[in-house]
């Protein structure tokens, strides 16, 4: 029989929301309230109590995680992901149901969790080890590895209250991953770190998984969920909405989300907003025949056409368009100042239409999302729209189908010529 590391049965958590916030009172106000309390109670007799507004952050969630399994938890903001991990970490008590956890738990839920701000980084390493039930000799054996991974040797004897959020996360993740918990809980807090450290953390979580430890990983990075996790569960409005192999769950989630947020026909419009300096009006994909299209042929060029308004003169602005895969990989971006930097001058008031051409074989077969930003580079967004249009690239080449069976690997689909320097390997027919 397979060992179960985490068993959750009908787990629920309710919060009260929207109530009046109490303020601190002076001594005089407190004494006056005490004197007036009997009269207030008499006035309330026979009156119904005001209803309390509540919300179910989790409602009747049940699932099991096997020992050594890596499980991704996905869903919209407010779906209950963090609440679930807080209950498993024993930070929050459930309102109903229960969770059985078999093994020592290490968690990284939010910046600051588990660290004492007045203690140094060195002292907090030993404190966290003691909380996990480790002996000092065990912590000593892992100490140098923790410090090396976190890359904060210079600040090891500085109180952590003086750490930046990035330094805090570096040390916190290193402690959580290296002190050998049987179960590791990681929330989206990794997004605080820089890109290089995020990659390093994901690699370490992969190592932890291969060592047979259990990992529950909350992330909005669908690519990381698909790559790192064998199994995924999806929460929606506090309820378990889906579970299964991670690629399948992520795919169904993206299809549902994009079905409501992105246009499939290769064109979408945006409501005008004269209060903005610049405002996007529409985005359209135009195929090689000059028609609007939500699907294009891999071997044919196509164009992306933007319409936008400049509502007041705006200096150093540009329009930029991004192509992303449906799991969030940024394939490329193109801006209207890339080849014409003089456009970074002041934009004149008016309505404009601009387009650029994407050459054939740039995008591999598959689905892509087009996002558009109107911005002042490296300063601020003037108008931003993510996943505005969905585009499908199809490959009808029989030679490619024969060579790659399903689809060629990778994101780009370039045909690159090969030259043999010692003769052609195939005889002429």
Instruction: Report residue 45's pLDDT band, with 50, 70 and 90 as the boundaries.
Output: low
Cα 340 to chain centroid distance, Å, stands at: 34
Residue 298 is predicted with a pLDDT of 87
Per-domain boundaries in the chain = 55-259, 267-404
E strand intervals along 146-250: 183-186, 214-218, 231-236, 239-245
Mean pLDDT of 270-291: 91
Instruction: Report residue 386's pLDDT band, with 50, 70 and 90 as the boundaries.
Output: confident
Q: Which residue has tokens 């994009």?
A: 258
Name the helix (H) or strand (E) containing 224: helix 222-228
416 pLDDT above the threshold of 50:
yes
Residues in the chain, overall count = 429
Written out in words, the top-level CATH class of the domain with range 267-404 is mainly beta
Mean pLDDT of 297-313: 93
Written out in words, the top-level CATH class of the domain with range 55-259 is alpha beta
DSSP string, 346-409: PBPSEEEEEEEEEPTTSBPSEEEEEEEEEEETTTEEEEEEEEEEEEEEE---HHHHHHHTT--S
The pTM for the full model equals 0.60
Residue 151 is predicted with a pLDDT of 86
- Per-residue pLDDT of 313-338, as tens digits, reads 999 999 999 998 877 788 999 999 99
Mean pLDDT of 115-121: 87
- Per-residue pLDDT of 146-158, as tens digits, reads 899 888 889 999 9
Cα 114 to Cα 89: distance, rounded to the nearest angstrom = 11
* Residues 88/186, Cβ–Cβ less than 8 Å: no
Nearest-5° angle of CA 35, CA 36, CA 42? 130
Residue 240's closest CA among 63, 7, 55, 4? Answer: 63
Residue 169 is predicted with a pLDDT of 79
Among 16-20, 182-186, 413-417, name the one with the lowest average pLDDT: 16-20
Residue 407 is predicted with a pLDDT of 59
Mean pLDDT of 236-263: 79
């Amino acid at each position: 029989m397979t060992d179960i590391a985490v068993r959750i049965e009908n787990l629920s958590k309710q919060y009260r929301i929207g109530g009046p916030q109490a303020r601190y009172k002076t001594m005089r106000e407190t004494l006056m309230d005490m004197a007036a309390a009997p009269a207030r109670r008499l006035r309330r007799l026979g009156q119904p109590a005001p209803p309390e507004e509540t919300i179910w952050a989790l409602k009747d969630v049940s699932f099991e995680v096997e020992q050594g399994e890596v499980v991704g938890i996905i869903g919209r903001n407010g779906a209950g992901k963090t609440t679930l991990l807080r209950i498993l970490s024993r930070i929050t008590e459930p309102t109903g149901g229960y969770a059985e956890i078999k093994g020592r738990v290490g968690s990284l839920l939010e910046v600051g969790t588990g660290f004492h701000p007045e203690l140094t980084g060195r002292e907090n390493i030993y404190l966290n080890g003691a909380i996990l039930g480790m002996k000092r000799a065990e912590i000593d054996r892992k100490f140098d590895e923790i410090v090396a991974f976190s890359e904060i040797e210079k600040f090891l004897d500085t109180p952590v209250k003086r750490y930046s959020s990035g330094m805090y996360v570096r040390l916190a993740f290193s402690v959580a991953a290296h002190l050998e918990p049987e179960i590791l809980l990681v929330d989206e807090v990794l997004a605080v770190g820089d890109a290089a450290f995020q990659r390093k953390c994901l690699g370490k979580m992969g190592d932890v998984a291969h060592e047979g430890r259990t990992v529950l990983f909350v992330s909005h990075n669908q690519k990381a969920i698909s790559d790192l996790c064998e199994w995924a569960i999806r929460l929606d409005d506090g309820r378990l909405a889906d579970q299964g192999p991670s690629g399948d769950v992520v795919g169904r989630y993206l299809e549902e989300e994009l079905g409501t947020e992105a246009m499939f026909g290769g064109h979408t419009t945006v409501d005008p907003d004269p209060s903005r300096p610049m405002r996007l009006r529409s985005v359209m994909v135009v195929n090689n025949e000059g028609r609007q299209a939500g699907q294009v042929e891999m071997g044919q060029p196509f164009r992306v056409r933007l319409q936008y308004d400049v509502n007041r003169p705006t200096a150093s602005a540009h329009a930029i368009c991004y192509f992303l895969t449906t799991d969030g990989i940024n394939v490329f971006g193109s801006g209207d100042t890339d080849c014409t930097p003089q456009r970074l001058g002041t934009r004149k008031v008016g309505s404009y239409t601009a387009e650029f051409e994407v050459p054939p074989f740039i995008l591999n077969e598959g689905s892509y999302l087009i996002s558009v930003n109107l911005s002042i580079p490296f300063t601020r967004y003037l108008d931003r729209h993510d996943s505005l249009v969905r585009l499908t690239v199809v490959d009808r080449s029989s030679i490619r189908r024969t060579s790659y069976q399903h689809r060629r690997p990778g994101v780009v689909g370039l045909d690159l010529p090969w030259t043999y320097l010692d003769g052609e390997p195939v005889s002429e027919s």
